[in-house]
Amino acid sequence: MMVSNYLKISSHRFYGAVTTLVMLLLYEILIIWESSSSIVIRNAPEAWLRNLLNFLGISHYHISFVMITAAILAVPLLYQRGLEVRKRIFLLLVIESIGWGAVSGLLIKLIMVKLFFMTGTISGSIIGDLGLAIGAGLFEELFFRVILTSSLIWICYKLIRLKWLSITVAVITASFLFSLAHYVGNAGDSFEIYSFLFRFLAGLWFTTLYSVRGFAVVGLTHAFYDIFIIIF
């Protein structure tokens, strides 16, 4: 398979839907496995989604089932006739994302982590940390990249009517909100300008990766990136 062909096929929304389903299943399994964990809500976008579904009348105990069902339905809905579906593409997606995640993680370790972050586990166990990483990659990328950035681009274009300026404003705004979300809620970090700026730049990086490679790569990359930072 030629590289250009792989890049085109793997960025399709179908592969993003399959990746979403797999990450969601792994996330739920790890959280159930780590039943002793005191963590209830692991990141702000997940909390927002659960609160929205609860507001719509869905019981707290049924929310995970609803999300998994929605992900299952998205797979055939986003499939396009004639799309090449191979196990090798999924394997290459994982390998590519591990590479991007390692590069991001190593840069952070070498340049910024000693200044802005504490190393070590967060939940107190490897299983819990893996769940945290997968959850962050899934929910944060779905909300901030797929939903928020795309919506902001559409809104900005309606207001500004210049495509390049609309995209620039939308990406900067989404990255700002992505960084700010890490300080929201009881489980949020204490605000520090340096960590805020770092996460803002991370938001720009993930948004760029999403625009070039699609959700499958950016979701997995974010998860592997968090694994390198949290565990190692």
- How far is Cα 69 from Cα 80, in angstroms, rounded to an integer? 20
* Count of domains observed in the chain: 1
C-alpha 48/C-alpha 138 separation (Å) is: 14
Using alpha carbons only, give the angle 90, 93, 98 rounded to the nearest 5 degrees: 130
DSSP secondary structure letter of residue 142: I
In terms of pLDDT, which residue wins out, 194 or 8? Answer: 8
Question: What is the per-residue DSSP string for 82-98?
Answer: T----HHHHHHHHHHHH
Distance, in Å, from the CA atom of 209 to the CA atom of 224, rounded to the nearest integer, reads 14
What's 191's DSSP letter? P
How confident is the model at residue 40, as a pLDDT?
A: 54
- pLDDT for 38: 47
Region of residue 79 (left: phi > 0; alpha: psi -120 to 50; beta: else): beta
Position 68 scores a pLDDT of: 94
| For residue 115, pLDDT beyond 70 | no
Length of the chain counted residue by residue: 232
Give the pLDDT score at 4: 78
Give tens-digit pLDDT for 12-46: 999 999 999 999 999 988 888 876 544 455 677 88
**What is the number of other CB atoms lying within 10 angstroms of the CB of residue 5?**
11
| Spatial distance between the Cα atoms of 158 and 30, rounded to a whole number of angstroms | 42
Neighbour count for residue 182 (Cβ, 10 Å) = 19
- pTM: predicted TM-score of the whole model, two decimal places: 0.84
- Span 104-130, average pLDDT: 61
Q: Which residue has the tokens 């939940």?
A: 123
Token representation of residue 89: 């593409």
**Host domain of residue 18:** 3-231
pLDDT > 70? residue 117: no
Q: What is the reported pLDDT for 118?
A: 42
| Residues 83-110: tens digit of each pLDDT | 989 999 999 999 999 999 988 777 666 6
